[in-house]
Amino acid sequence: MSSQFLAVDWGTTNTRAWVVGEDGKPARRREFALGVGRLAPGEAAKRFADTIRPQMGAEGLPALLCGMIGSNLGLVEAPYLDCPADMARLRRELCPAPMAGPPVWVVPGLRCTRPDGGPDVMRGEETHVLGWAAADPARLRGEHLICQPGTHAKWVRLVDGRIERFITSMTGELFDLLRKHSVLRVRDAEDSETAFDQGLEAAGDGGALASRLFTARARVVGGDMRPQLVESYLSGLLIGAEIASAPRLLGVASQTPVAVVGDPQLAGRYLRALRASGYNASVHDGDAAALSGLAALRDGALVP
C-alpha cells in the first residue's frame, strides 16, 4: 500500500495542505482561504472535495487533517483526549470522517485542567507540538516549554515526549480588539523596537494588566509617546505580561528551554521578549512542525 497521503492543517481562518510523498517529504504545498470560521455549516466537506483535493492533485489519496476541522464546524467532531497525551495516543485515537472516496482521518484535540483549576482545550496545536518533538529525538527527553503565539497563544509543558498540560492566553485577540476598537486605537501605526521594549518593561510581573494597559493612553496624552508608537508599546506590554505569568502558572523552571513554534515574524517578537526575561529560547517554523506531526501520525491512518 502506498504511504503517500494528503496532509491538511485546517484552522479557523486559514488552511495549509501538503501532498506528502513516500519519503515523508512534501511534494506539493498550497494555502487556502477556507478556514472553518469562514464557511457555512456543512460546507467544509464540499470544499474539501471540490477545491482542496483537486487543486492538490490528491483525489485518490488518503488524507489526514488536524485543527479546527475536527470541531463542530468541520468535517467531523473529533473528541478531546485528556492529558497527558503523546504521539502514540493520538495515533490510536484518529477519528474517521464519513466521506466518500479515499479514507479521511481527523486528529483529536486535547483537554486538561490548568494549574489554577480551570479547564483548557486545544485543536491543532497538539499536532504541532508533538511534530516539533518528533523532528529531533533529543526533544523526546526531558522537560520543554513550547510557546505557540497567535490569536489564542498556547503554552505547553512537554515532558519526555508527552503533553502534560497547557494554558491558553488570548493575547493576540486582545491586542487586535484594543488596537481597533478601544481608546488606544491609532492610525498610521509605526513598528518600533524601542516602544516594544518599553512595553515589555511596563508589563512587570504580569499582574494588574487592565491597569497597566492604560499607561499606553497616559503616555500619549502626557506627551511621552507619539500616538503612532502605541501599537508597538501595546504589543510589548501584552506579550511581556503573558511571558511573566504563563511559565510561572505552569510551574516550569526558568532554566527550562523554551521553543517558540509558529509564524516567524510573530515568533521573533516572543523570542525577543523571552530572552529579555532571561529564558533560553529558540524559534521554530510552525509549518514544519505541523507537517512533521501529520507525517508522524500517518502510520495510524494508513492501515489497510
d(Cα 213, Cα 219) in Å, to the nearest integer? 11
Q: H helices of the chain, where?
A: 43-47, 53-56, 87-92, 125-134, 171-181, 193-203, 209-221, 230-250, 264-276, 286-301
In the prediction, which pLDDT does 303 show?
42
Judge whether 160 and 140 are in contact, CB under 8 Å.
yes
43 dihedral zone (left: phi>0; alpha: psi -120 to 50; beta): alpha
Cβ within 8 Å of residue 35, ≥6 positions away: 10, 11, 12, 13, 14, 15, 68
Give the pairing type, strands 258-262 and 143-148.
parallel
d(Cα 8, Cα 18) in Å, to the nearest integer? 6
What are the grid coordinates assigned to 55, written together?
Answer: 487543486
Cβ within 8 Å of residue 124, ≥6 positions away: 9, 10, 11, 66, 67, 68, 107, 109, 290
Judge whether 42 and 55 are in contact, CB under 8 Å.
no
pTM of structure: 0.94
Compute the C-alpha angle 27/28/29, nearest 5°. 135
What are the grid coordinates assigned to 216, written together?
Answer: 499606553
Q: Which of 144, 150, 123, 121 is nearest to 132 (CA)?
A: 144
d(Cα 95, Cα 98) in Å, to the nearest integer? 10
In the prediction, which pLDDT does 2 show?
58
Which amino acid, residue 290? A
- Per-residue pLDDT 10s for the chain (304 aa) are 358 999 999 999 899 999 998 887 898 999 999 999 999 988 999 999 999 999 999 999 999 999 999 999 999 999 999 999 999 999 999 999 999 899 999 999 999 999 999 999 999 999 999 999 999 999 999 999 999 999 999 999 999 999 999 999 999 999 999 999 999 998 999 999 999 999 999 999 999 999 999 999 999 999 999 999 999 999 999 999 999 999 999 999 889 999 999 999 999 999 999 999 999 999 999 999 999 999 999 866 554 3
Q: Is the dihedral of CA 124, 130, 132, 134 positive or negative?
A: negative
